[in-house]
Structure 1
Amino acid sequence: MSGAETFDVIVVGSGAAGATAALRAHEAGLSVLIVEKAHKYGGTSAASGGVIWVPNHQFTSNDDSREKALAYLDALIRKPVNRERLEAYVDQAPEMLRFVKSLGVPVAPAPYYPDYFPDAPNARVDRSILCDTFDGRELGDKFVLMREQYARFKILNRYAMDVLQFFSISTRAPGWIRTFLKMAWTYWSDVSTRMLTRRDRRFTQGAALMGHLYKRVFDRGIELRLETKLDELVVSDGKVTGVKLSHFGRRYEIGARHGVVLAAGGFEWNQELRDRFFPVPGLTRHSSTPEDANRGEALIAGMKIGASTEHTEAGWWIPTMHIPMESRSNFEDIVQAAFDIGRPHSVCVNRNGVRFVNEACSYDEFGAAMVEDQLRTGANTPCWLVFDATFRQKFTAGGIMPTILMPDRRIPPDWWDHYIFRADTLDALAAKIHLPAATLKQTVDTMNQYAVSGVDTQFRRGASPYDQMFGDANVKPNPCLGPIDTAPFYAVPINLGDLGTKGGLRCDALARVLDGNDQPIPNLYAAGNNAGSPFGNLYPGAGGTIGPAMTFGYVAASHIATQAQGDAGTQRAAA
């Protein structure tokens, strides 16, 4: 690639995987370029919860171990996976975390996040890692260029929430009003930022993680180019030597001396690929990742040069619903309903009026149950969340706020019987949403019996610590089961949404992309949702997406650095 601009490493994608790869490569003495097709950086990670699942991190005096982590995963993984890659994740994730911490990123265990399968052998409550809040103004003029969090991570689409604030406000725990007022005061007293932007400079959750990482990226002078899309991978003599990019229609090439790391997310916004790979494709518009962002361009570029794929039949599922955007009713917002579906005084049913899952299970398991039920009955995707006035008063239903913030009279008239349904009786509600009334009433009657006994004999809702974390401690004897008996009754449709795709380019334990003959494609690496998940179709705990993303970004850059040192040694010897 004579005459072309050249870097040691090119990273495609600016999320957690790409930022970690870039930092690791830079610390190893390599020149790095990050390219991002969007006009804002941070990727899906910046708009996420920002949790990192790292087993055996040893940050606290716990008795977790490599063996216990693998035993937990082995008990749950439901399809063949690359064993070496799985073990590499368990071994390298703690190393990645120590590296990030050595850069000054304030990461620490969150001892209130149970693994998503708390009844499995060796499940724990301390493997999920969180990053402390970040002051966005530390990014200088790049503050406004980081991808902004969704409304679901804010109160009134304005005040940023950390995880503990979310738990307090969403469950209306004691002191929740004080928590909210403190958030509002912090926001409005920040006069200098209010003069610049309505955005809260207090970065929380995924924005906090990406703020801390990109503070280090920018401090080190690592170059980031926005609005810069990968068109093709350049291959010479059988190895990847660069990339072809486009920027507002201008196409050009950049050389990569030692490696290209594909970290550009999955393909959830590509309907053609969803239809090709997913058994129940769903719609792109039901995804809860940034709109039209992850279209699989980097996946396609890899496939064009012979890369193989794996686990492409599965997404990181999460139930979603849609509502009109505030003040722009012709456009819709996708909002997550991940924790709403398991609250007391509610039940989820398919279009036959029948329950199909423990509603309080992890959001990925809920989505997997939607897929299974749709394949079995053809009466799911969407399903229905049915709830009563007590639920309505206390909890959110996707984008529908509790009555204290959004009483029925404040719900826009065009939402009724389109986005949210209401009736004075279950019979009338069933008629509105076209469910068999007798079946729905029987389902609700059964749930009401469970609320009295505290035991869900069908799906064991509320039996695990994970279920109970999102229940209501004031509801007895089971915080996840409350009677559905107070009119009016409501329903909202629940879509098969996702947090991205689990499948992508097939990689080995060193994050090298493999061809159809199981051979690494020289100088090509992948991480994050650009690569197949090391867990197959399993979501083991909070941060099960970002943990592997950052880990294999770190692994990829480490291997590139080792190879670069070897190449330099060979050149010196030849000289």
Structure 2
Amino acid sequence: MAQGETFDVVVVGSGAAGAMAALRAADLGLTVLIVEKAHKFGGTSATSGGVMWIPNHRLDGDKGDSREATLTYLDSIIGKPVNRDRLEAFVDEAPKMLRFLKDSGVAVMAAAWPDYFPDKPGARADRSVIVPTFDGRELGDGRYALMREQYNRFKLFGRYAMDLTETFALMMQSKGWRTVAARMIGRYWKDRSTRKVSHRDRRFTQGAALMGATYKQVFARGVELRMETMLEALEVDATGRVFGVEVSNFGRRYRIGARHGVVLAAGGFEWNQALRDRFYPVPGLTRHSSTPEDGNRGEALIAAEKIGASTEHTEQGWWIPTMTLPMPKASNFHEIHQAAFDVGRPWSVVVNRNGVRFCDEACGYDQFGQAMVEDHLKTGANMPCWLIFDAKFRKKFSAGGLMPTVHTAESKVPADWWDHYVFRADTIEELCRKTHLPVEAVSQTVANMNGYAKTGIDPEFGRGMNPYDQMFGDPVSTPNPNIGPIDTPPYYAVPINNGDLGTKGGLRCDARARVLDQSGTPIAGLYAAGNNSGTPFGDVYPGAGATIGPGMTFGYVAANDIAERSGNQRA
């Protein structure tokens, strides 16, 4: 086996957690190598919404958030035992990480996004932080096209990049949305210099903006990035200290030394069916995940377990409802589409296979997935569930990958979709026969929803009766923006799977991001961050960005600890 070189720090994985660990370590004077098994860098983070949940950030001055308010909120929603020191470390270090990111040259701004449990004490609507649009060409033409590209669902017509403001304008068909679309299209085609380099929009938005802006600073500090380089094993000395990694590149295996630390930031295990079967009470299928296909297979978790590492919170994913459709122009292949907000729109309802509701459909997407799991354990009639909607919904909203008629008219829907991926009928009774749902139960559920639409009150689950639900409702629908009568044929149904944004659980770590062995002792030289580690929040998703925020925070914490132990820390 070939012998490799040595760096101060080796980071495994190029997503947000790994990028932050590399940025901070390099800024503190350490030599850093990032290894990434994929052909593109940026990880799952680059395909995401790019939101960071950072409580008490004070970007806009002191507006009342505090350490105490944050912990009050978290204590009110976390439903299982967690490492208190680690939870408090996140609350304390997240604002410091964000200030460092900003000071390093990455623009950040607070977003008006309600916490996912808005009725709980300490909840706020300003803890989610985003990065504004970034010019991808600033990475250099050699890297601009090599950062992982966002999914079609984050682009208009699968081509034109959308920021969050544009996304909501188009999604809600709000006033002036056609002008917004025309401006986006015109801007793209006028950029002739970029079209000579790549089809990709030079406007990096959402997760691409976060990762593009961060990697500009990572590369500016001399960090080396090697793609197509997969972790095979962790190198351990006689004392049990991790001192390097064994990697492979197109079958060639070699070793890379790490003088001061290895940071595992290679994502979760959602694409490893064996690990799903081992950890999840309702395993689900890998192909329902909305993360990059076959990307996060848990190799780093497995490598760490082989040297004695322990795990935590592995029984749950970061759930999100998804649906499946054939890929355009390649019908033998399938594409996964998120339906995070679609399931809570007016003129629709979600039922299990018994034809009854099981949750507030407009709740946070992770709560929706937890409700699917709970209902399936109780009834065996979930996974998938069904989104049922009428022609009014069809005209205005997407249903996973089925775009509204203003985008995809009935005549433009591929013939192989009807009654296999998307079901359509002139009556609820006929729709039930096609989907094998019980007619009487579904008819009663629809009748109930039509009654709730008149009063604006959902006595079963409170749909549309809190700020989070209402943010993604439609003000046209009154008196409740999330409930409207399901009474205009034709009627439609699509199966909804319990997809994910990654895994909640992973390697058990302490407050300094050090990986712990089975006895709770830190494994010297080994750190983990992001979905490679267990979430500090246990079983909940506190708000938008609660995956990336802690991932970057503990990447930052890991780099600080490594630098301190190396004696090279400058700040």
Q: Is the 8 A contact 2:26 2:222 kept in 1?
A: no
Kept after mapping to 1: 8 A contact 2:319/2:498:
yes
What residue number does 2:505 align with?
Answer: 503
How many angstroms apart in 2 are the aligned matches of 1:3 and 1:204? 40
Structure 1 position 464 matched with structure 2 position 466? yes
Q: Identify the residue that residue 54 of structure 1 maps to in structure 2.
A: 54
**Gapped runs of 5+ residues in structure 2?**
none
Counterparts of 1:525-564 in structure 2 under 5 Å?
525-564=527-566
| Mapping for residues 434-453 of structure 1, pairs under 5 Å | 434-453=436-455
Q: Deviations over 1:126-182 (max 9, x none)?
A: 000000101111111100100000011011101111111111110111111111111
Deviation by residue 1:287-340 (Cα, 9 ceiling, x = unmatched): 000000000000000000000000000000000001000000000000100010
Amino acid at match of 1:184: I
1:234 equivalent to 2:235? Answer yes
Equivalent in the alignment of 1:395: 397
Ranges in structure 1 where 5+ consecutive residues have no aligned partner: 569-575
Distance 1:195 1:375 in 2: 53
Q: Which residue of 2 aligns with 1:454?
A: 456
| CA gap 1:222/1:566 in 2 versus in 1, 3 angstroms | closer
Output the amino acid matched with 2:198: T
- Residue correspondence of structure 1 range 206-285 to structure 2 within 5 A: 206-236=207-237, 237-285=239-287
**How do residues 163-182 of structure 1 correspond to structure 2 at under 5 angstroms?**
163-182=164-183
Partner of 2:202: 201
Matches within 5 A, 1:72-83: 72-83=73-84
Q: Shift of residue 196 of structure 1?
A: 2.2
Superposed, 1:346-495 pairs within 5 Å as: 346-495=348-497
Per the alignment, in what secondary structure is the counterpart of residue 170 of structure 2?
helix
Would the aligned equivalents of 2:3 and 2:254 in 1 still touch at CA under 8 Å?
A: no
Cα distance in 1, alignment partners of residues 193 and 444 from structure 2: 57
- What amino acid does structure 2 have at the position aligned with 1:335? H
Aligned position for 1:523: 525
Residues 235-269 of structure 1, C-alpha deviations (whole Å, 9 max, x = no match): 00210000000000000001100000000000000
Post-superposition offset of 1:195: 2.3
Distance 2:366 2:166 in 1: 23
**For residues 188 and 473 of structure 1, what CA distance do their matches in structure 2 show?**
34
1:217 shift after superposition: 1.3
CA distance in 2, matches of 1:194, 1:378: 51
Q: Which secondary structure state, in structure 2, belongs to the residue aligned with residue 417 of structure 1?
A: coil
Cα distance in 1 for partners of 2:329, 2:231 equals: 35
- Select 2:310's aligned residue among 303, 308, 311: 308
User: 1:249 & 1:341 partners in 2: Cα distance?
Assistant: 44
Q: Could you say which residue in structure 1 is the equivalent of 2:90?
A: 89
Aligned residue number for residue 11 of structure 1: 11
**For this pair of structures, how many residues does the alignment match?**
567
TM-score (norm 2): 0.98
1:30 aligns with 2:30: yes
> Which whole-Å CA distance do the structure 1 matches of 2:335 and 2:177 have between them?
26
Higher deviation after alignment, 519-528 or 191-200? 191-200
Give, in angstroms, the shift of residue 122 of structure 1: 0.9
- Residue 319 of structure 1 aligns to a residue whose secondary structure is strand
When normalised by structure 1's length, the TM-score is 0.98
In structure 2, what residue type is equivalent to 1:265?
A: G
Q: Identity over aligned residues, as a percent?
A: 67
How far 1:58 moved relative to its partner?
Answer: 1.3
- Whether the 8 Å contact between 2:30 and 2:568 is mirrored in structure 1 is no
Q: Which residue identity is paired with 2:179?
A: R
What are the superposed Cα offsets for residues 486-513 of structure 1, whole Å, 9 maximum, x if unpaired? 0000000000100000000000000000
Question: Whole-Å Cα distance in 1 between the matches of residues 98 and 255 of structure 2?
Answer: 34
Shift of 1:3: 6.6
| SS class of match (1:196) | coil
Q: Could you list the structure 1 runs, at least 4 aligned residues long, displaced by more than 2 angstroms after superposition.
A: 1-4
Partner Cα distance (2:4, 2:415) in 1: 58
2:80 counterpart letter in structure 1: K
CA distance in 2, matches of 1:459, 1:2: 61
Task: Report the secondary structure of 1:145's partner residue.
Answer: coil
The 1-side partners of 2:438 and 2:3 are apart by 70
**C-alpha offsets along residues 404-429 of structure 1, whole Å, 9 cap, x if unaligned?**
11011110100001110000000000
SS of the residue aligned with 1:264? coil
SS of the aligned residue for 1:409 comes to helix
Q: 2:343, 2:387 within 8 Å by CA — same for their partners in 1?
A: yes
Q: Which residues in structure 2 correspond to 1:280-295 (within 5 Å)?
A: 280-295=282-297
Q: CA RMSD in A?
A: 1.2
Distance 1:566 1:125 in 2: 39
Distance 1:31 1:191, change over 3 A: same
Task: Report the AA paired with residue 5 of structure 1.
Answer: E
User: 1:70: which partner in 2?
Assistant: 71
Deviation at 1:218, TM superposition (A): 1.5
